[in-house]
Amino acid sequence: MALTPSFIGVQIFNGLVWGMVLGLIALGLSVIFGMLDVVNFAQGTMYTIGAYCGYSIILSFVFLLGSGQGGLCVALVVAPLVVALLSIIIEVYLLRPIYSWGHVYHIMLTFGLALIGTEVVRLIYGSTPMSFPTPGIFKGVVSVGSIYYPKYRLFVFVLTVVILAIVWLFLDRTKYGTIVRAGIEDAEMVNILGINIKRLFSLVFGFGAALSGVAGVLGGPILGSIQPDIGEHMGIYTFIIVVMGGLGSLSGAIVGAILLGLVKSVMEMIWAPASNVTMFILMAVILVIRPQGLMGKR
């Protein structure tokens, strides 16, 4: 295939869009690990729940109003809130009692929750993949010369950049963000300073999961359809990202996500069948050269 500048440009942008969606999930995972020291294997399932919530909301709008347009806006608010609420309940009643037990138990619990979450979604919605509609206002392509690009993917890129900017501003410029960052550095010190660390943990866990929920709503029209095990695929990509970027590093999550998206899209130009396995090879190389990840601390 001819590697024209327009083809390369579009392909790289595809990688960036995909990377940004994954970056939301990875950021959530990094925040949770950084603050709570919990490797959340259910992060991919939070994506699934967010996607199905979003799907249900958009379809309700189509059924009631004849159009799914307003549905996306509502879904982007409601679906993450639902995911956050569910996650807070899980944190309070299931995770909190076992924080001191160690990573193995955290992994077993969150892995089990991932399986349960997938099967509950399957019970409610069935195994049949559901087509996720693209909102009417974002249907179609933008054409610049010989380049065609879907409007929806442009919207997703812009929105994820805005969301990440808001998250960064919150963490960097607000009092509560400072508390979260301090908690990531040293949760015990934050506790000693009189801050309600239990409430903070719950809110951070909910926040991290909510980012996955947002990704689920945004990613639905990109993938075209959703099925109960979509979270497993996204979870695998997410773990590659955080390992590459550095577990617990917020900037590492974003850098890792962009890197993964670009590597995948570049390999698709060179040799598409190797696009998935290349991500694992890259992860292994980074682990060998820099075990703490690109932005992680030793």
Partner 1 sequence: MKPTKSALKSVGIFCICLVTLLFVFRLSEGMAEDKVVISLIEDLSGAWAVEGGVWGRGIAMAVEDVGGKVLGKPVEVVTRDDELKPDVAVRKFREVVEQYHPVVVISGSMSAVQLAMQQVAAETKTLFWTGGWADDLTRAGTVNRYTFRWTANDYAKANSSIPFFIEKNPKVKTFYHITSDYVWGRGMFDAGKQVIEKMGGKVVGNILTPLAEVDYSGAVTAALSANADAVVLNQYGNPLVKCARTVHEFGLKNKSKILLPGCSLDLIRGIGAEALEGMFAGQDWYHTVDNKFSREFVSRYVKKYKESPSYVVMIAYMSAKLTLDAIKRTGSTDPNKVICALEGYKYEGPTGPETIQGFDHQVNKKWLLGVGKSPKEMKDPDDFLTIIGGLARFETHQENPVVWNLTLPCDKK
| Residue 149 φ then ψ, to 5° | -140, 135
Please identify, using beta-carbon distances, which residue of 21 and 244 lies nearer to partner 1.
Answer: 21
Please identify, using beta-carbon distances, which residue of 100 and 146 lies nearer to partner 1.
Answer: 146
Residue 152 as a binder of partner 1 (CB under 8 A): the answer is yes
| Helix 275-289 with 230-245: angle, nearest 10 deg | 30
* Cα distance between residue 258 and residue 175, in whole Å: 29
Task: Single out the residue of 50, 71, 117, 150 in contact with partner 1 (rule: CB under 8 A).
Answer: 150
Please identify, using beta-carbon distances, which residue of 100 and 128 lies nearer to partner 1.
Answer: 128
Residue 59 as a binder of partner 1 (CB under 8 A): the answer is no
Residues 11-50 within binding reach of partner 1 (CB under 8 A): 11, 14-15, 17-18
* Cα distance between residue 118 and residue 226, in whole Å: 12
Output the smallest distance, CB 145 to partner 1, in A.
Answer: 13
Please identify, using beta-carbon distances, which residue of 23 and 34 lies nearer to partner 1.
Answer: 23
Residues 235-294 within binding reach of partner 1 (CB under 8 A): 264-265, 268-269, 272-273, 275-276
Output the smallest distance, CB 89 to partner 1, in A.
Answer: 27
**Site map for partner 1, 80-119, x if CB under 8 A?**
----------------------------------------
Residue 144 as a binder of partner 1 (CB under 8 A): the answer is no
Mark the segment that binds partner 1 (CB under 8 A) among 6-14, 67-75, 83-91, 103-111. Answer: 6-14
Mark the segment that binds partner 1 (CB under 8 A) among 78-86, 93-101, 139-147, 199-207. Answer: 139-147
Task: Single out the residue of 227, 244, 279, 286 in contact with partner 1 (rule: CB under 8 A).
Answer: 227
Sequence-ordered list of residues with C-beta below 8 angstroms from that of 51, at least 6 positions apart, any chain = 79, 132, 216, 217, 219, 220, 226, 230
* Cα distance between residue 67 and residue 93, in whole Å: 39
* Cα distance between residue 79 and residue 53, in whole Å: 5
Direct distance between the N- and C-terminal alpha carbons of the chain, in angstroms, rounded to an integer:
43
Name the nearest CA neighbour of 262 among 5, 19, 25. 19
Residue 137 as a binder of partner 1 (CB under 8 A): the answer is no
Task: Single out the residue of 94, 98, 108, 127 in contact with partner 1 (rule: CB under 8 A).
Answer: 127
Sequence-ordered list of residues with C-beta below 8 angstroms from that of 58, at least 6 positions apart, any chain = 68, 71, 72, 75, 132, 133, 135
Contact by Cβ (8 Å): 25, 233? no
Output the smallest distance, CB 277 to partner 1, in A.
Answer: 9
Query: Which residues contact partner 1 by CB under 8 A?
Result: 1-2, 4, 6-7, 10-11, 14-15, 17-18, 122, 126-131, 133-134, 140-141, 143, 148-150, 152-153, 221-225, 227, 229-230, 233-234, 264-265, 268-269, 272-273, 275-276
